[in-house]
Amino acid sequence: MTAREPSMPLRAWPRCDQTVAWSALSGHAQVHGRDLDLRQLFRDDPHRVQRLSLQAPEVWADLSRAHWDLATQRHLLDLARECGLAEQRDAMLRGELVNRTEGRAVLHTALRAPRGQAPFSDVVHAELDRMLAFVAGVRAQAGGTQPGDIHDIVHIGIGGSDLGPQMVAAALSTWVHPGLRLHFISNVDGQELASVLPALHPDHTLFVVASKTFTTQETLANARAARQWFLDAGGRDVARHFVAVSADPRRAADFGIGTCFAFWDWVGGRFSLWSAIGLPVALALGGDAFRALLTGAHDMDRHFAEAPLEANLPVWLGLLDVWHRNFKGYSSRCVSPYAQGLKRLPAYLQQLVMESNGKSVDADGRVLPYATSDVVWGEPGTNGQHAFFQMLHQGRDVIPVEFILVGRPAYPDADVLSAELKDLLRVQHESLLANALAQAQALMWGKTEAQALREASPTAAPGVPAEVIARHRTFSGNRPSLTMLLDALTPRSLGALVALYEHRTFVSGAIWGINSFDQWGVELGKALCQDLLPRLQSGDTQGLDAATAATIGRLRQGRDGA
Ligand code: F6P
């Protein structure tokens, strides 16, 4: 199967804000949205959780504490139908050129479909088999003492060629081969690579240079530096210790790397961890674990493709994002995984969501009058409680919080832990979960001034009336959150979770009528940098704007003075 010409014109559906459903939602927001109080909604409907929670493959989600109700959801589902959400989804899955500004299909789903069940299945599985055969060879000697036995894998890439593999490797660190260490180098700041090199030996290091275009300045600079180190350190066989991953193998060969694992232009960078970009994950975890990751994502793909919109978790979440963003006016969301292994998930989601939907024109190039992507940020819990939860509870802005919980913990070498230590760690995991539950409860129920007054001790702050203290200790409550629960963090459950976020991002982008799959916004800075780099080196600020010229001058002054 191959990519297909678009079956739909650029503007195939009414713009979302010109639909009947959008008007209904606007009216709904006026009547129900403004004074919506979660506490009252739960009092009015004892079945609210059952009605607004949903089990998808590997992921259970409770959306009952989001700022919506069943009537809201019905209007949003009407909006999805008026905007042709299902038709847009099916066109993407069929391999139509839905990335219209780049003339490409969008088929990251084909990377994880079983043989014969998606477009391009033959080439996908041929390259996957080839990559995993290479992986098996490296892992068979991993940690060995012979030259060429690999101990360290240094993955060089940035953006979608870094964030996905790094996030997965961190999440599944307990599955990593005991003889292998993974290092991720992305920033053009040489400090990152230089900090890793001293611990490496050229005979036991494999460099993976990952770049879809193989033109990204950061990646090529780090690859050149890594190669220089390798030769300086007495490395003898570049071909054996450097492999590439790219959609442009010719450029990789021109750079001097003979082994290249390929992927294709219909795989967006931020959707590419399922392709050969996932090579470091496969090396670290093994082929079976990598295939399980793909299976989990495929499970979610099938749910997204087949479940009716009314019982489709990516659809629920994407529509809720539209409601929170366009009708409640929430401009950011905090993703707080209560699982340290998911510490890189917020960073991964920043690219997935904000590079996909941080757009201001629709398919026709018309500037949109309504908001699109919110700002995604966050850190794992419980750390966030000691950093920014103050603002989430008592700030002026309402910021929906996404709690991601993992029921069962996983620890490296669990079988060598003593019974006493296992028991302590078990209690810590229960404390982690209890903290997440408490934060969601506090956000929703808050604390009244009367409750705070009853608790205030008269000597709390000498000279400050108890009423004043109480007002500082009042929590408005009625703050929205989502809870997502994985029974355990495994390759399969992680694959499903990430695919859930991919499809959720597609849903809101499709409703907004934007192209979620290009990223023209990153090009201007890259182009300007090409002009500024030599100027920084030469000091020539002729024709530059005053601010840039002044900064260059100050930098050079400081450098000359060093
Ligand atoms: O940030 C811009 C971008 O093009 C991303 O979309 C991409 O993931 C990243 O740079 C890296 O691109 P490449 O994989 O081609 O090096």
Whether 11 has a pLDDT exceeding 80, the answer reads no
Give the pLDDT score at 370: 98
Q: How do residues 494-516 score in pLDDT, each as one tens digit?
A: 999 999 999 999 999 999 999 99
Is the distance from the beta carbon of residue 19 to the nearest atom of ligand 1 less than 6 Å? no
User: And the tokens for 345?
Assistant: 């998930």
- Give the pLDDT mean for 103-122: 97
**Is residue 435 predicted with pLDDT exceeding 70?**
yes
Which one of 104, 162, 212, 215 would you pick to mutate in the ligand 1 pocket, going by the greatest count of ligand atoms within 8 A of its CB?
212
Confidence of residue 319 (pLDDT cuts 50, 70, 90): very high
| Average pLDDT of span 339-343 | 98
pLDDT given at position 10: 67
Amino acid making up residue 63? L
DSSP string, 393-453: HHSSS---EEEEEEEE---TTGGGS-HHHHHHHHHHHHHHHHHHHHHHHHHHH-B-HHHHH
Examine the residue annotation and report whether 526 is marked as an active-site residue of this protein.
yes
Q: Is the pLDDT of residue 18 over 60?
A: yes
pLDDT band at 457 (very low <50, low <70, confident <90, very high): confident
- Cα end-to-end distance, the chain, whole Å: 61
Report the distance separating Cα 508 and Cα 321, nearest Å: 7
What's residue 35's pLDDT? 78
CB 181 within 8 A of CB 205: no
pLDDT reading at 300 higher than 70: yes
Residue 364 has what pLDDT?
Answer: 85
Q: Over pLDDT 70: what percentage of the chain?
A: 98
Q: How far is CA 288 from CA 128, 133, 168, 172, 224, in A?
A: 12, 11, 15, 13, 33
* pLDDT score recorded for residue 363: 84
Average pLDDT value over all residues in the chain: 96
Residue 560's pLDDT is what?
75
The number of the ligand 1 atom at minimal distance from the alpha carbon of 355 is: 6
pLDDT in tens, 123-161: 999 999 999 999 999 999 999 999 999 999 999 999 999
504 C-beta closer than 6 A to ligand 1? no
Cα separation, 242 vs 315, in Å, equals: 42
Residue 33 pLDDT grade (very low, low, confident, very high; cuts 50, 70, 90): low
pLDDT digits (tens, 9 = 90+) for 515-545: 999 999 999 999 999 999 999 999 999 999 9
Q: How confident is the model at residue 462 (pLDDT cuts 50, 70, 90)?
A: confident
Residue among 355, 379, 402, 502 flagged as catalytic: 355
Give the pair of three-digit tokens for residue 276: 């050969």
- Among 281-290, 374-383, 466-475, 498-507, the minimum mean pLDDT is found in 466-475
Ligand 1 close to Cβ of residue 356 (< 6 A): no
- For residues 30-53, average pLDDT: 91
Ligand 1 neighbour 84 (Cβ under 6 A): no
pLDDT at 224 over 70: yes
Q: Could you give the angle at which helices 523-538 and 546-561 cross, rounded to 10 degrees?
A: 50
Q: What is the pLDDT of residue 43?
A: 97
pTM of the model: 0.97
Q: Which residues contact 474 (CB under 8 A, 6 or more apart)?
A: 446, 447, 448, 449, 452
| pLDDT for 58 beyond 70 | yes
Say how many Å lie between the CA of residue 268 and the centre of ligand 1: 9
* Residue 359: predicted pLDDT: 98
Q: What is the mean pLDDT of residues 36-48?
A: 95
Query: In the chain, pLDDT over 90 holds for what percent of residues?
Result: 93
217 lines ligand 1 (CB under 6 A): no
Check whether the bond before 382 is cis (ω within 30° of 0).
Answer: yes
